[in-house]
Structure 1
Amino acid sequence: MTDAWDALERFYAAEADYLAAGGPGKADFSGMAAHLAPDVVMHQAASLPYGGTWRGHDGMERFMAAMSEAWTGLAFLEQHRAVDGARVAVLNRCAFRARATGRELETSVLQWITVRDGLVREFRPFYLDTAAVLDALGAATG
């Protein structure tokens, strides 16, 4: 395995532990933060309720809270990856359950992730269909 993938696997494990411990408002975020660069950036599609750019550990913690306001659950059904130095592309087939509607959405999300010095620096997720995400959430699409 590459160093970038190893670092990302450690982050994913810390994220799973954080969510299993209750997530935002209930669990200690420092375990996740230990795998993130201090200036980490998360870019989400602007059309999503949790869209925009989230910066730093505080931004990532707020992003996790925004995601948990939208979704009650997320299951990874299948995952594929490609690693090129510090960059990792991860294709996730996943199932989300919307908090407001109870609807489940099975979809794919491609993440372009940068890892340097053993820490995640940047996330760029690309949803297969943001309109389907908004529909599941009960959000107006225009």
Structure 2
Amino acid sequence: MSPSQVLRRFYEAELAYLTAGGPGRASFAGIASLLDPQVVMHQAAGLPYGGDWVGPDGVERFFAAMNDTWEYLEVREPRFLEDGDTLVVLCDLVTRSRARGVDMHAPMVQVIQVRDGLIVDFRPFYWDTAAVAAACAHHDET
């Protein structure tokens, strides 16, 4: 499979996982099958789910943290740019925070590395991490 085919399969598995109930309710196996054992999901430190999430178990914990943070999260109009094993995905992120009920709609870029048919690295770049963090903060944190 090409890197873009791997990522499209990942997105399909992610949608199936979330549609089936997500963290604690659905099987993560479909997603895990597309991840390298040493995969790393990098998130900006200033976000409520910031840091590096390592391995398929780490990515599964990341999904749980995202589920705790966002009431819904949708990636719209993804465009794939592929260069060897590197994918750049240009998209719009549409979300609603659980803490405040704040709706957000902003551009996002993801840089993803694929090796031997498995995803090895995710690096999302948010348009405004401060706005994302503020939307997710509990009222007593601001």
Scaled by the length of structure 1, the TM-score of the pair is: 0.94
**2:106 counterpart letter in structure 1:** T
- The Cα offsets for residues 30-80 of structure 1, whole Å up to 9 and x where unpaired, read as 111011111110000001010000000110010000011100101222222
Structure 2 equivalent of residue 62 of structure 1: 61
Cα distance in 1 for residues equivalent to 2:12 and 2:88 = 18
- The answer for unaligned runs of 5 or more in structure 1 is none
Q: Percent identity?
A: 51
- The Cα offsets for residues 58-107 of structure 1, whole Å up to 9 and x where unpaired, read as 10010000011100101222222210010000011120110111111001
What do you get for the CA RMSD once the two structures are aligned?
Answer: 1.3
What is the Cα deviation at residue 138 of structure 1?
A: 2.8
- The answer for unaligned runs of 5 or more in structure 2 is none
Structure 2 equivalent of residue 26 of structure 1: 25
Cα distance in 1 for residues equivalent to 2:93 and 2:55 = 26
What is the Cα deviation at residue 135 of structure 1?
A: 2.0
Q: Count how many residue pairs are aligned between Structure 1 and Structure 2.
A: 140
Scaled by the length of structure 2, the TM-score of the pair is: 0.94
Structure 1 equivalent of residue 132 of structure 2: 133
**2:31 counterpart letter in structure 1:** M
Runs of 4+ in structure 1 deviating by more than 6 angstroms, as ranges, are: none
